[in-house]
Amino acid sequence: MKVVYILTLVFLIVSCKEKARTTLSAQEIVDKSISVSGGEQYRANDIFYKFRDYQYASEWKDGDRILKRIRLTDSTKVVDVRGNRGFSRFVNDSLVTLKDSIANLYANSVNSVHYFAYLPYGLNDRAVNKELLGHVTVRDKEYYKVKVTFDQEDGGKDYEDIYLYWFNKETFKCDYLAYKFYVDGGGIRFRVAYNERFLGGIRFVDYENYGASVGDSEFYDVDVLYEKNKLKLLSKIELEDISVEPSN
């Protein structure tokens, strides 16, 4: 009996150590997700696509990332540009002076579309804080559930927003995300990725965009509400005419 007890104890110790070695941190999960979704290709290519009534472009120039939104009509071309030096608007190639409040509004709008288009790229930005909440099952698949918050410095206007990401435990791809926001009265959104395609080695998806009328505490269980079909489909986020070209 003593030998059996000792062997059992050794087995438990080895099992615990093995489990500790195989447990991934939130940072490691995000790193793996970025790697399988595009990795270095995000920084080696310029990306162009259409979303609703606008053309969008993400370009690299001298190591800086330039985000653009372009609106074309019969007589007018409006180009919004967001870069390290701030925001600028050009109408028919002429720079337009804007009030700071309006410029910030446009800059945030441009950044928001680009942010979602390239996820999970961006989750390693300096202001991002990541926390592994646990392991969950959604629609019979296992996921790492990761919480993301932002520092006030470099976290943007909406730094108080809280995000949740569900990373597939086998593929490390992000299949679901949710966020709680506070502007315009606030709210909760839950997005389901679909229509996956790879262009230039970069993963692109579209999203079903759901809304949830729940309290702050219930936000963390929004995946459970999704499984119970208690979320309302608000819209679909679809990228069109995507092209990926090597940066100069």
- Residue 2 confidence (pLDDT) above 80: no
Q: What tens digit of pLDDT does each residue of 47-79 get?
A: 999 999 999 999 999 889 999 999 998 899 999
Q: What is the pLDDT of residue 29?
A: 98
- CATH number for 26-246 (one of 2.30.30, 1.10.3470, 2.60.120, 2.50.20): it is 2.50.20
Give per-residue pLDDT as tens, 214-231: 776 789 999 999 999 999
Q: Taking the model in full, what pTM does it have? A: 0.87
Provide the pLDDT confidence category of residue 9 given band limits of 50, 70 and 90: very low
Domain map (residue ranges) of the chain: 26-246
pLDDT of residue 84: 86
Roughly how many angstroms between the first and final C-alpha of the chain, as a whole number? 72
Query: Looking at residues 71-97, what average pLDDT do you find?
Result: 94
What does the pLDDT read at residue 20? Answer: 42
Q: Kindly give, in sequence order, each residue whose CB lies less than 8 Å from that of residue 113, ignoring residues fewer than 6 positions away.
A: 51, 54, 56, 69
What contacts 63, CB < 8 A, 6 or more positions away? none
What's the pLDDT at 156? 67
Query: Is the confidence at residue 158, as pLDDT, over 80?
Result: no
